[in-house]
Chains A and B, each alone.
Chain A
Amino acid sequence: MTMDKREFLGSSGIPVRTLELWLEQRWLIPAETQAGPAFSEADIARARLIKELKTDFSVNDEGVDIVLHLMDQLHGLRQVLAQLREDMRRRAPPV
């Protein structure tokens, strides 16, 4: 299930100008389709996180940039770790 730009703005309550800034910063990278951007559930959850960082935690734009960059690296590490675990399980079947 994806949302188009209008649905996304409506459900997230994010002002259009703010969204454009976030897209410019590449904090959000929705899939590009002929009908415009298509926001996945991951994009929507990510937008909610950015909103919480800014409003609840008073993180400024530079801070959000750093948090997202570190978070993406952390998830990269987690994924490679998950893949390692899978490889090891396959290689060493339980006796």
Chain B
Amino acid sequence: MRNPYEVLGVAPTATPGEIQTAYRKLAKTLHPDLNPGDKSAEDKFKEVAGAYDLLGDAEKRKRFDSGEIDATGAERPQHPYYRDYAASDQARPYADASGFADFADGDDAFAELLRRAQQARANRRGADLHYRLPIRFVDSIMGANTRLTLPEGGTLDVKIPPGLVDGQVLRLKGKGAPGAGTGGPGDALIEVEVLADPRFAREGDDISLELPISLSEAVLGGRVPVPTPTGHVTMAVPKGSNTGTILRLKGKGAPRRDGGHGDQFVKLKVILPRPPDPELEAFVSNWANAKAFNPREDKTA
């Protein structure tokens, strides 16, 4: 970090007026927006502006002179300059071709080149527009047709392909900003946010679900309805199923790219009757084998 007095080229005894004059003189030739083609101008300008931040402020200058703060205390945060955007679509309303209009008017080869270059810029494709679309979990698995309401008004029909994952970006060709001349419109890029479903969780192509079952279904087995993203199916719970038992519904997961499907895993959870049933209590207390089984046997040893 150079001494700010050196940067501005003034003596340490310079008056505030001299400092301001020195800064303006340097800044005018170094400001990045007044030197759009000079990459080094930005660094030099930053240094000069930083020095002026320090010395142009009587309070800061006093503290610097007494050694309380060093030259780095006035470093400027980086910010983008207009020149960084001047070639982008964002700057289109400011575009001005009058600087070379006369050159492009001629009938020589150079004028022809200029006209073509101008034409190529005039026929630029429209910008891509970015949107965000929240969809239901079920729709992310099954696919759906939805409608996106655009912040600038109007709507966009979006076809959600089956098996889509959170954060995936859909590209709708030609639905972006209109282009200029023969440039054609840009695309709409839609980032899909899959909303959580309290029932389902997704891991890769597989889906998991926790299914409450009754005591009698757990002990005796039975056929129970299970929700899947494609609707309810009936699943056989085998005799003697326990909380934590995982059953697989083959092909009920998310569609895979190769044409197959993932699986749905159903984790059983045994729920005792509510409210507590006196008959069950009487049965269990008379049940001879009840105390013989200790489920914590291998855990408490």
Contacts and interface: CB of A to CB of B under 8 A. Distances in A.
Chain A interface mostly: helix
Contacts, number: 104
A29 B121 contact: no
Interface residues of B, number: 39
Contact of A75 (B23, B31, B86): B86
Contacts of A42: 82, 85-86, 88, 90-91, 94
A80 B36 contact: no
Contacts of B94: 29, 42, 46, 68, 72, 75
Interface size class of A (residues with CB under 8 A): 20 to 34
B118 A75 contact: no
Given A58-B24, A72-B96, A80-B114, A45 B85 contact: yes
Interface of B: 23-24, 27-28, 31, 33-34, 36-37, 79-88, 90-91, 93-100, 113-114, 116-118, 120-121, 151-153
Given A75-B86, A78-B37, A80-B100, 20 more contacts: A29-B93, A34-B152, A35-B152, A40-B85, A40-B90, A42-B85, A42-B86, A71-B36, A71-B82, A72-B96, A73-B99, A74-B36, A75-B36, A75-B91, A75-B95, A76-B98, A78-B87, A83-B117, A87-B117, A87-B120
Q: Which 7 A-B pairs have the closest CB atoms?
A: A73-B99, A42-B85, A42-B90, A83-B117, A29-B93, A72-B96, A40-B90
